[in-house]
């Protein structure tokens, strides 16, 4: 009997979390082996490892406790990777040397697989004086471009590019440029952006007052606060960025306000962190803890929840000691405060099982009760750990208990902390769980509503063909097993039908008992008015949220395919062709490779790499499909025999990819990201990190010249004639960069693919 509730769960495990040798041979034969590996690794720091290994395994068994992806993939493998998901890096000095020292630290962190967050508010604005060199400053946005280029170059552990968060204060003189920076689709593609909004700014917005943009005590500009707020709102309304972080509230409610100041978050926003702070994440799967689902007496097993939380806290505390860290400053910060972020997944499924409609006042009240129980159990478990192992080194009982989030904690918990101390400074956070929720049987993600109760997923087979399989939400699958084809009850709602303020209500209900923050996307309908859209953010502010992220599908952001139990994918008739097709835009997916015509048109390019005796010649041939030109094959030749093997391999691999069709622009991105540890070269005034990156650049220029991609660093060319869209169907956005399917959805602030689980944020 398999432990996996759905085929996609086993595929995610095999692809992302199964331990394999360097040659791809599985070391974990079963998922039980993975659980055993993790349990053993986290028990090794205990005085009695054998006793705790069994308890840790029991918590992991059947996907009840889900450590974050870094832990699941890395614990017990012996590999030099960090088990922490994300970091906020050190404060960036306002000097050229300091800025590039920070860039180096960022590269080292991302090389081990950590996402990073930075506050760029500390860099002087564009046009400010640079003393001693008679020059004007280029401003923080120019240095963000440097970070973005670095992130493209570094491949994170587990074959995943690192994610980055950039924040900027609402009173920085360059804030207006920051707000609009990503409206250039080729710029800052590796960053999520958020504005640090202060209480004073929100007061000025409500009063329609003026607002000074200041750096180092100097006022550079004065604007109307409401005008600046409208700029932020208009940008996120049209482009889904930047997000908003209520930074004063974060610092006021921080348990460690007495010894740290926060100015940035990790890439998905659920972990506001001080300089060199790290987020250690895990989730309790509420969907697995409901007794008698869909029955009149359905209820969460509170005793099981309490026990599971206590075990999870101990496991996460052990990760602090078991993990490697890219930088010594990160290790010291983690040891000094031992901050963890235990959250939940499967909340929406659990609510469905007990008969509550997600977003209703009753569901919000139940969510608040469950979150309080988790918070109590977490804090009491950490007190018990403090009795056994000692409190975190910077613990100060009087100052700690006076902090914002502790003031409304139950008195018995406060008394326990006062008497015995506490092992972990912060304990709760709700992180993105898109991939691990699929791994756990397609439970609802984090505290998000169910996105779709069932959808059809296209699966790429070994022979290159694609088959279809139904992916069913965990709660819906249970309903089918109990009641067969009986219609779903009225309280089954999904992300597409919920009112935005229902999302806000749920986020606010959970936030009261979460001492860090929450990663959540508030889905807004495309036709929501701008004024109503702004009200979503004001409601988030008024109801105690620490930040707000929305997603409104439109012509710029695209939208995901509509899904339902009854409807099939729409069909269209392409111009000049009487056969109905499922719309795939100008991307053509093939189960078999394209046939090669007798003759193809192409171009040959000469590439001269410095210090190399012989040039490399690239010939790229194209094929015309439905009137559109696309790359078909590549030939790479050189007289240098040292290059023979790899140029031949590259020729065959790239040509095989091109002949499969689809969005093959990722080939360019992958090649351009390769760096040579021996050093790159300057070509035509631009630094190229390797000869492979140079080949990628040549292919990119060719794809631009034939109109296949928009421009340098950009994706497929947008051509209204290239896509046949059903009448009334919304644009679907970009294809998944991993599998090519148009199944990207915004989940917990990050675009995630429903077909393969790919997510920029993990």
Annotated catalytic residues are: 266, 268, 270
357, 361, 366, 372 alpha-carbon torsion, rounded to 10°: 140
User: Could you give the 3-state DSSP secondary structure of residue 20?
Assistant: strand
> In this structure, how many other beta carbons lie within 10 angstroms of the beta carbon of residue 348?
32
DSSP letters of 658-698?
HHTBS--THHHHHHHT---TT--EEETTEEES-HHHHHHHH
CA distance 433 to 736: 18
Distance between CA atoms of 694 and 615, rounded to whole angstroms?
Answer: 12
CB atoms closer than 10 angstroms to residue 681: 18
DSSP assignment letter at 324: B
27: Cβ contacts below 8 Å, ≥ 6 apart: 19, 20, 21, 33
Tokens of 284: 């309790």
> How many Å apart are CA 662 and CA 593, to the nearest integer?
11
Give residue for tokens 């030939």. Answer: 635
Sequence-ordered list of residues with C-beta below 8 angstroms from that of 537, at least 6 positions apart, any chain: 233, 244, 548, 550
Q: Token match 């439905």: residue?
A: 626
Nearest 10 degrees: Cα torsion 395, 165, 521, 362: 10
- Name the packing angle between helices 96-111 and 140-153 (round to 10°): 30
Q: How many other C-beta atoms can be found within 10 angstroms of the C-beta atom of residue 168?
A: 28
Closest CA to 534 of 242, 234, 170: 234
Write the CB contacts of 549 (distance below 8 Å, at least 6 apart in sequence).
243, 244, 269, 519, 520, 521, 522, 749
Contact 448, 349 (CB under 8 A): no
Given a contact cutoff of 8 angstroms between Cβ atoms, the answer to whether 171 and 212 are in contact is: yes
Contacts of 56 (CB under 8 A, 6+ apart): 38, 39, 42, 43, 311, 315
| Secondary structure element (H or E) that encloses residue 136, with its range | strand 135-136
The full DSSP string for 483-550 is HTTPPPPTT---TTTS-HHHHHHHHHHHHTT-SS-B---EE--TT--HHHHHHHHHHHHHTT-SEE-E
Helix pair 361-389, 302-322: axis angle to 10 deg: 50
Between CA 1 and CA 407 the distance in angstroms is 48
Distance, CA of 746 to CA of 754 (rounded, Å) = 10
Q: Report the alpha-carbon distance of residue 752 to residue 747 in Å, rounded.
A: 6
Instruction: State the residue for tokens 């590019």.
Output: 161
Cis status of the peptide bond prior to 242, with omega within 30 of 0: yes
Residues with Cβ within 8 Å of 38's Cβ and at least 6 positions away in sequence, in order, are 56, 60, 67, 71, 72, 75, 76
747: which strand partners? Answer: 750
Instruction: List Cα–Cα distances, 26 to 17, 22, 23, 370, in angstroms.
Output: 11, 9, 9, 38
Q: How far apart are CA 277 and CA 254, in angstroms?
A: 13
CB atoms closer than 10 angstroms to residue 700: 22
């Amino acid at each position: 009997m398999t432990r996996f509730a759905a085929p996609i769960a086993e595929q995610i495990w095999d692809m992302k979390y199964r331990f394999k040798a360097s040659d791809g041979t599985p070391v974990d034969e079963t998922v039980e082996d993975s659980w055993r590996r993790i349990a053993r690794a986290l028990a090794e720091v205990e005085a009695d490892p054998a006793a705790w290994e069994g308890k840790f395994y029991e918590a992991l068994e059947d996907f009840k406790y889900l450590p974050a992806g870094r832990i699941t993939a890395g614990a017990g493998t012996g590999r030099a990777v960090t088990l922490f998901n994300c970091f906020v890096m050190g404060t960036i000095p306002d000097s050229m040397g300091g800025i590039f020292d920070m860039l180096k630290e960022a590269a080292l962190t991302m090389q081990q697989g950590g996402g990073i967050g930075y506050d760029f508010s500390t860099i002087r604005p564009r046009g400010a004086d640079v003393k001693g060199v008679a020059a004007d400053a280029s401003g923080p946005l120019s240095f963000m471009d440097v970070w973005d280029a670095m992130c493209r170059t570094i491949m994170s552990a587990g074959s995943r590019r690192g994610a980055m968060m950039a924040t900027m204060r609402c009173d920085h003189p360059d804030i207006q440029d920051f707000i609009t920076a990503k409206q250039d689709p080729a710029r800052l593609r590796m960053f999520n952006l958020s504005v640090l909004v202060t209480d004073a700014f929100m007061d000025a917005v409500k009063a329609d007052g003026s607002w000074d943009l200041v750096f180092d005590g100097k006022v550079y500009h004065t604007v109307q606060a409401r005008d600046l707020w409208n700029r932020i709102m208009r940008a996120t309304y049209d482009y889904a960025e930047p997000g908003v972080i209520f930074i004063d509230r974060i610092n006021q409610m921080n348990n460690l306000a007495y010894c740290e100041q926060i100015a940035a978050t990790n890439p998905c926003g659920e972990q506001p962190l001080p300089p060199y702070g790290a987020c250690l994440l895990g989730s309790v799967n509420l969907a697995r803890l409901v007794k008698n689902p869909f029955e009149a007496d359905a209820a969460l097993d509170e005793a099981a929840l309490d026990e599971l939380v206590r075990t999870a806290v101990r496991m996460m505390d052990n990760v602090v000691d078991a993990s490697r860290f890219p930088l010594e400053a990160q290790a010291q910060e983690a040891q000094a405060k031992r901050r963890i972020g235990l959250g939940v997944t499967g909340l929406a499924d659990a609510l469905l099982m007990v008969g509550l409609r997600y977003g209703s006042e009753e569901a919000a009240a139940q969510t608040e009760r469950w979150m309080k129980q988790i918070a109590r159990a977490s804090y009491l478990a950490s007190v018990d750990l403090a009795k056994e192992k000692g409190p975190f080194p910077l613990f100060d009982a009087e100052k700690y208990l006076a902090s914002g989030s502790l003031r409304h904690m139950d008195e018995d918990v406060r008394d326990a902390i006062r008497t015995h101390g506490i092992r972990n400074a912060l304990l709760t956070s709700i992180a993105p769980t898109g991939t691990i929720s699929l791994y756990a049987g397609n439970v609802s993600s984090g505290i998000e509503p169910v996105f779709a109760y069932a959808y059809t997923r296209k699966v790429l087979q070994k022979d290159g063909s694609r088959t279809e399989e139904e992916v069913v939400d965990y709660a819906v699958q249970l309903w089918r097993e109990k009641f067969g084809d009986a219609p779903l009850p009225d309280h089954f709602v999904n992300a597409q039908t919920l009112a935005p303020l229902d999302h806000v209500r749920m986020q606010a209900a959970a936030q009261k008992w979460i001492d860090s923050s929450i990663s959540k996307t508030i889905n807004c309908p495309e036709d929501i008015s701008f004024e109503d859209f702004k009200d979503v953010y004001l409601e988030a502010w008024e109801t105690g949220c620490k930040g707000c992220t929305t997603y409104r599908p439109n012509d710029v952001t695209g939208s995901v395919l509509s899904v339902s139990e009854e409807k099939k994918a729409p069909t269209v008739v392409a111009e000049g062709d009487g056969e109905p097709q499922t719309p795939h835009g100008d991307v053509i997916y093939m189960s078999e490779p394209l046939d090669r015509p007798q003759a193809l048109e192409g171009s040959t390019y000469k590439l001269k790499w410095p210090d190399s005796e012989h040039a490399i010649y690239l010939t790229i041939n194209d094929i015309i499909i439905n009137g559109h030109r696309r790359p078909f094959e590549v030939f790479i030749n050189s007289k240098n025999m040292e290059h023979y093997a790899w140029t031949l391999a590259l020729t065959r691999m790239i040509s095989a990819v091109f002949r499969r069709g689809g969005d093959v622009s990722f080939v360019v991105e992958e090649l351009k990201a390769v760096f040579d540890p021996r050093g790159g070269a300057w070509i035509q005034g631009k630094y190229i990190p390797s000869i492979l990156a140079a080949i990628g650049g040549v292919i990119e220029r060719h794809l631009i010249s034939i109109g296949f991609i928009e421009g340098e660093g950009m994706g497929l060319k947008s051509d209204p004639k290239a896509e046949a869209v059903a009448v009334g169907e919304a644009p679907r956005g970009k294809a998944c960069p991993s599998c090519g399917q148009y199944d990207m959805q915004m989940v917990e602030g990050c675009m995630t693919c429903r077909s393969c689980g790919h997510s920029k944020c993990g």
